[in-house]
Amino acid sequence: MPVVHPDPPDGGWGWMVVLAAFFQSALVFGVIRSFGIFFMEFVGYFGELSGRVSWITSIGIAVQQFASPVGSALSTQYGARPVVMAGGFLSGLGMLLASFATSLTHLYLSIGLLSGFGWALVFTPSVASVARYFKKRRTFATGLAFMGVGLSSFAFSPLFQFLVDTYAWRGALLVVAGMSFNLVVCGALIRPLTLKEDLAGPRDPGGSCLGKLSTLFGLPLLSHWPFMRFVLAVTLINTGYFIPYVHLVARAWELGFDEYQAAFLMSVAAVADLSGRLLSGWLADCRVFRLVHILVAWTSLTGISLALVPLGRSYPLLMAISICYGFFSGALTPVVFSILPEIVGIGRIFGSMGLLQMMESIGGLLGAPFSGWLRDMTGNYTASFLAAGAFLLAGSLVLVTLPNFFSCLSSSPACSQVEAGTEPSLLTPACGKHSSQDRDCLARSQDLRKPT
């Protein structure tokens, strides 16, 4: 019989899980962000249009996001360790097969489909595993895990360029494949963890295969209205969040700055992003403020910084706005994933995270094209960044509609936990004490983990 933990251990082997998630985020999103180094190599070798070549990474990202519920369902059934190890093998195999590509279709299937599906099996289960191992320090641990994305973005771009210059693109892809196979080792570090809440509900949802599949994929959460409102908010946030990664450099060129000045804007934003993740994790785990309020604050500040981009006509001012954007956007990321257990409970973290990843991808996929369309219609990027800021502010407004956002606001750090053995709820006062007018709030707080 496995050992049943009443609460997440908040440390111990959990730090090894954080280390594994750090390398997993680096070897998934660090590779994706730096894959542009191969872009012109593919254009020149295959003699294809840039638009067709760009579909390689687009397919990979789309498969990674839309297949996230598959990774979550398999993790719920078999545990995160074998799923992540299988995903690491598939992602490395896709890169290996891509090194022998003779056409773009070959690259679509190997990198886009095979590696993309491998990334889906790696990322969501690894982040969910961090959430399961931590409670009081969950946001800080998640922030540390996500630092792998920023640091690898710095390191991989020059590394990939060196590999391409030395071994050509086929040899470089072989090296990237070898790096990706290390995801198997990272997956092996994720030890199974059985929590008391895992045993609270029935394991068998019913005799029908349909019912079992529905539960494995977390489909009952589609009628969980607080969760669905949270998904809507994150989707709106995602629509504006990634626009600077695509259009901030072009905005700098539009203002007459050279390519090195434009690229430096993204570099300083990445440094600020790392700082924001660490500070946000520390602040959230201090338990002085509720996570939902912290998330609304970071989201609103990110939206405001994006809306201010059109005012940055001088380079120092645009630099300052880029630093603010990088810091605030980095700060909100770990809070988004840390708040999920407070909405649905830690027992349904795999299913909820898979559904969130799949549905929020709609915003990520539509945001940049919509921003480009606004630029084409208006002739500049002013409307694009105003719209990006508006999407994040709209996401903040949706977060405000979560049940009892404006009530139960006491926040004493000395007594921030609710009853022992239970996950703190968005609807529970941080001090755990209830006045007569808050009795109804306490009664409703139990509804967050079941459909309403």
**Which tens digit of pLDDT belongs to each residue from 291-312?**
899 999 999 999 999 999 999 9
Which helix (H) or strand (E) segment holds residue 195: the answer is strand 194-195
Is the pLDDT at 67 greater than 60? The verdict is yes
Residue 230 within any structural domain of the chain: yes
Residues 194 and 241 in one domain: no
Residue 208 within any structural domain of the chain: no
Return d(Cα 100, Cα 415) in angstroms, integer: 59
Half-sphere exposure (CA, 13 Å, Cβ side) for 55?
A: 13
Full DSSP string of 130-167: HHHH-STTHHHHHHHHHHHHHHHHHHHHHHHHHHHHHH
Residues 141 and 36 in one domain: yes
Residues 175 and 140 in one domain: yes
Q: Final residue of a domain: which of 177, 200, 223?
A: 200
| Mean pLDDT for the stretch of residues 82-96 | 96
Q: With CA atoms as reference, report the closest residue to 312 among 323, 327, 296.
A: 323
Residue 4 within any structural domain of the chain: yes
Q: In terms of residue numbers, what domain contains 291? A: 213-452
Tens of pLDDT along 235-270?
Answer: 999 888 888 877 887 888 888 888 778 778 877 888
Q: Final residue of a domain: which of 168, 200, 232?
A: 200
pTM equals 0.76
CA 153 from chain centre, in angstroms, equals 15
Residues 191 and 241 in one domain: no
Residues 299 and 448 in one domain: yes
Residues 323 and 180 in one domain: no
Q: How many other C-beta atoms can be found within 10 angstroms of the C-beta atom of residue 84?
A: 31
Q: Considering its fold, how many domains does the chain have in total?
A: 2
Residue 338 within any structural domain of the chain: yes
Return d(Cα 9, Cα 186) in angstroms, integer: 20
Residues 183 and 36 in one domain: yes
Q: How many other C-beta atoms can be found within 10 angstroms of the C-beta atom of residue 267?
A: 13
Q: Final residue of a domain: which of 160, 177, 200?
A: 200
Residues 242 and 382 in one domain: yes
Residue 205 within any structural domain of the chain: no
Task: Report pLDDT for 74.
Answer: 92
Is the pLDDT at 85 greater than 90? The verdict is yes
Biggest alpha carbon distance in the chain?
73
190 phi, psi to nearest 5 deg: -85, 100
Most confident of 28-37, 88-97, 280-289: 88-97
Residues 96 and 163 in one domain: yes
Residues 194 and 218 in one domain: no
Residues 71 and 133 in one domain: yes
Burial annotation 388-420 (CB, 10 A radius, 16+ → b, else e): bbbbbbbbbebbeebbbbeebeeeeeeebbbee
Q: What is the DSSP letter of 4?
A: E
- The CATH number covering residue 369 comes to 1.20.1250.20
Residue with tokens 């990706």: 180
Q: With CA atoms as reference, report the closest residue to 283 among 321, 334, 238, 329.
A: 334
Least confident of 140-149, 324-333, 345-354, 360-369: 360-369
Residue 21 within any structural domain of the chain: yes
Residue 271 within any structural domain of the chain: yes
Residues 194 and 221 in one domain: no
| Mean pLDDT for the stretch of residues 24-39 | 84
Is the pLDDT at 95 greater than 80? The verdict is yes
